[in-house]
Structure 1
Amino acid sequence: MAKKGSKAQLEKLELERQQTLAELERLKKELSAEIEMDDVDDSASDLIERDKTQAIIFTLERRLEEIDHAIKHAQENRYGICERCGKEIEPERLEIFPEATLCVACKRETERLARMQRAED
């Protein structure tokens, strides 16, 4: 997958990046407007909504980093190759998560190790 179709994959990643950036910009403007209209007596539901928006922004910023990382892989003709084990990433996984740089097995393993690390802390 590294060479075959990498131009199409790069275009798909660029589109994902543009869409993610647009959504980030929209949410940041929305959050900024909410903060500007703040009253001293914000309701609990307003604060909860603001927290939700901030969490979504954080998630989208992380996704943008993952997309940028995958774009770098594509530009280096390494797209579709697991950066941990070197095997081909499943095409189905790339279809669903074009920003994936780990195969399913390696992703599971890194998540398992992260959970173990959190449990130790």
Structure 2
Amino acid sequence: MTNQDTTISEARARLQAERTAALDDLASLRDRLETKGDYGLGEGDPMIYQWELNLALLERAEQHLAEIDEALQQLDMGIYGLCEKCGNPIEPERLAVLPHTTLCSRCAQRRR
């Protein structure tokens, strides 16, 4: 196994672990939304705010899962670790922290 094969294997393992955690988060959030109780209590009720927060968290968790799945597809296609904006390699340190990222540091800074 080459060094590149090891790096790809490690990236896949990190992404799979992140995917498992994201699926667990989604299941938990969906459960909280399904067991919401009576949210027809009226505007301003704290339970309404909690339900809206959980809904926002669910949407973010779904987006995160999609990002992970996209990174896994990039691994399969052999383009993982390349910036989608400039085409340059994404810094290994950045991939270690954000294995699902699609932008190098420079392009991510420009995006903000």
TM-score band w.r.t. shorter chain: 0.7 to 0.9
Q: Following the alignment from structure 1 to structure 2, what is the Cα–Cα distance between the partners of residues 44 and 74?
A: 46
Name the structure 2 match of 1:67.
68
Percentage identity across aligned positions?
29
1:2 and 1:66 map into 2 onto residues whose CA distance is 22
Q: What is residue 41 of structure 1 aligned with on the other side?
A: 41
Q: For the aligned residues, what is the CA RMSD?
A: 1.9
- What residue identity is the alignment partner of 2:8? S
In structure 2, the CA distance between the partners of 1:105 and 1:2, relative to structure 1 (3 Å rule), is farther
What is the DSSP-based 3-state SS (H/G/I as helix, E as strand, rest coil) of the residue aligned with 2:35?
helix
1:15 aligns with 2:17: yes
User: Which one is further off, 45-54 or 100-109?
Assistant: 100-109
The CA deviation at 1:3 is 5.4
The C-alpha deviation readout for 1:64-103, integer Å capped at 9, x for no partner, is 1111111111111211111221111111211111101110
Runs of 4+ in structure 1 deviating by more than 4 angstroms, as ranges, are: 1-4
SS of the residue 1:5 aligns to? helix
Paired position in structure 2 for 1:82: 83
For structure 1, the 5+ residue unaligned runs are 112-121
CA contact (8 A) 1:3 1:78 kept: no
The aligned amino acid for 2:92 is: P
CA–CA distance in structure 2, aligned partners of residues 59 and 99 of structure 1: 14
Give TM-score, length-normalised by structure 2.
Answer: 0.86
Q: How many residues align?
A: 109
Query: Compared with structure 1, are the counterparts of its residues 39 and 91 closer, same or farther at alpha carbon in structure 2 (3 Å cutoff)?
Result: closer
Give the Cα separation in 2 of the matches to 1:100 and 1:39: 37
Structure 1 letter corresponding to 2:71: A
Residue of structure 2 equivalent to 1:100: 101
